[in-house]
Chain A
Amino acid sequence: MALIWPGASWPTASLAGIAATVLAWCWAIAPAHAQDAIEVTITVKDHAFNPAQIEIPAGKAVALRVKNLDSSPMEFESKSLRVEKVLTGNGEALINIRPQKPGRYEFFDDFHAATTKGVVVVK
């Protein structure tokens, strides 16, 4: 690489460095948090969330397991919960919800935003 682009050695090296650091860091930390959260499961079938409304306690971390039972992909998204995640057809995903203040937090499937909606009610 350095022979072709003498100036590229620095970005190339930092590129590899960043990738390695971020991944190594996450490998170590990510699983630890998932365990102390309350787990809630919702499914998506025929582009509808079930249940479409879930209630969780305020101030508690929640691990929301979303199971996509449709064969087409979807994107679980919530602006207020700061989440966006693509799910494959028949795939599932774990969504981390940080401890929240009481309120209504809407979520939707970004690929079918007009029809596929739900809400997390924090009490």
Chain B
Amino acid sequence: MIAALIIVFREVFEAGLIVGIVLAVTHGVARRGVWISAGVAAGVLGSCVMAAFAGLISQAFAGAGQELVNATVLSIAVVMLTWHNVWMARHGRELAAEFRAAGQAVAAGAKSLFALAVVVCVAVLREGFEVVMFLYGVLASEGASAIEVFAGGVLGLLLGAAVCAATYFGMLNIPQRYLFGVTSFMIAFLAAGMAAQAIGFLEQANVVVALDQTVWDSSWLLSDGSILGRVLRTLIGYNDHPTLMQLAVYGATLAVMFGLMKLMAPPARNHAVIA
């Protein structure tokens, strides 16, 4: 039961962190609950569909189907996170000003919520697939111990939800005036980490072969399989032995993200009006 709890918790926890961050980012935005729930639901449904077709996916693309699905799904999340940050850089200030005008906020918030709902869906889908496969395996084959293992799995899920809640309520303690800046940074690093992970899957599929030398190996110091390592892997893309290509893409994602945010930010004279 403990083994099942750990396996399920480990997977759910990464999705929990991301959902918690998205909840904090959208704090106060009208109808965010509907969007985020829809994202989670789509992710769970997607996990089940992916598990049902796991054999087919695996055999597709000369056996690299699973890696390609992972890389594609991660790339989609990177685009959505970038789009969200750029959109917020452009409209965040007016959005905050319009919070009280409920009608406006619904219309404005919905654009950005779409992107974040996709991110939530992707986060749940990626981790959920493994959870579904694992629990299915337990139910299908391990007989007498199945109920116990299943209970462990459910407990793991609940713990993952607790991580989500802790992240959310923790981030709400950030004073409102810093929240926007802090979340922009978190989202940028989240995206860069996901981009590097996507490269990892493309490398595993032998699609990306250039710059594949390991830049450092810090697994002796902090393994990215440990709890702290996993937290950092999710939040900033920590990798204990990245390839040069992964580092390059990580840097490029940050550069593109911050570059676009600067480019799309409203002209400086708006500052004077608000201040």
A contacts, CB < 8 Å to B: 5-8, 10-11, 14-15, 18-19, 22-23, 25-27, 29-31, 33-34, 70-75, 79-80, 82-89, 91, 93-94, 96, 98, 110-111, 114
Contact = CB atoms under 8 A, between A and B. Distances in A.
Interface string B88-120: 000000000000000000000011101100100
A91 B140 CA distance: 15
Given A93-B63, A96-B206, A114 B3 contact: yes
B58 interface: yes
B68 A22 contact: yes
Contact of B76 (A19, A25, A98): A19
B216 to A, nearest CB: 14
B66 interface: yes
Contact of B142 (A5, A23, A72): A72
Given A71-B141, A73-B134, A86 B129 contact: yes
Contacts of A86: 54, 58, 66, 129-130, 133
Interface string B144-188: 000000000000000000000000000000000000000000000
Interface of B: 3, 7, 54-55, 58, 61-64, 66-68, 71-72, 75-76, 79-80, 83, 87, 110-112, 114-115, 118, 129-130, 133-134, 136-138, 140-142, 200, 202-207, 209, 212, 219, 223-225, 240-241
Given A73-B133, A79-B240, 14 more contacts: A5-B110, A5-B114, A7-B111, A8-B114, A10-B83, A15-B80, A19-B76, A22-B71, A33-B209, A84-B204, A88-B133, A91-B55, A93-B58, A94-B62
A79 B202 CA distance: 16
Given A11-B83, A19-B76, A22-B75, A85 B225 contact: no
Contacts of B80: 11, 15
A14 B79 contact: yes
B206 A33 contact: yes
Given A33-B206, A73-B134, A79-B219, A7 B114 contact: yes
A6 B111 contact: yes
Contact of A18 (B64, B76, B129, B207): B76
A7 B117 CA distance: 14
B63 A94 contact: yes
B114 A82 contact: no
B79 A15 contact: yes
A114 B4 CA distance: 12
